[in-house]
Structure 1
């Protein structure tokens, strides 16, 4: 647990939730923080105000927000240097709790991820953004992982997909894994 969350005292735990949330959801302003913690605007501004000196304001990918000073350098790292490639399962917590999801997924692919009746697809995540969807099934003793990237999947992305599929196979106790890449237009 982050030591700032363990300080105790009435109300202090909530006011100290700012740093861990900002680290997890970077970069965010009070509006996005408000959507996650369920407090009003004034309370979120107070939380961010108490972090004075620990945060920086700025604009990243065209979005204004607040970021922990310790995380600011990570925003400017080259693609693939921090977050890498991940295969996230359906309903992964990374995809939940965001009123505005444009920082996660392009509007053109929104309905492929956030489907009817509240279903959320398993996704291919590249550097913190949704870059495709995936599914899996078994064919005998082989686990087949089908990934549909929304764009070109370069060598580093394909390598990350293979690693994620291997991990899934290990978790499902199916060591024989085959990965297929399908263009997003074909299903």
Structure 2
């Protein structure tokens, strides 16, 4: 009988990531992932709904960091959202550029994963908008601040994962936010 080993979730995530990089998402089965992790398919399905979730399981943590920062930050709505994305970058993405680039390449190779990434971003938008509404902002203000902040994050993220990038994600978020402020300011205030 095999000896029990801890961190089945982490082992399955690592195995899925390795196999998706080696074989591609479509060519990797749940049985392949479980086998690489030294587990069975039943354990996989107990921890993940499907093989996509092995790549996207950290979304809940991202939502928590964003919502907590929104609740704790006292600034204008857009600045609160930018602060939340900067904190997420500092707490979650720091020193992970090569890993994130590899993950992004996996996502870009599969329309199914691209769709799942869009749903993940939608969940982040909903979490931030809800946190802003909990601070008393009206729906329009909360939505505009969140969508503007998410746009800043997306542009900064794309710059960060691009080959040759050496700035931190938090620095790029601040840079892109400044660019957005500049293009939305009246001509005399740029």
Q: Identify the TM-score tier after normalising by the shorter chain.
A: 0.3 to 0.5
* TM-score, with length taken from structure 1: 0.32
* TM-score, with length taken from structure 2: 0.32
Q: Which has the higher helix share?
A: 2
Question: Which protein has greater RCO, CA pairs closer than 8 Å, 6+ apart?
Answer: 2
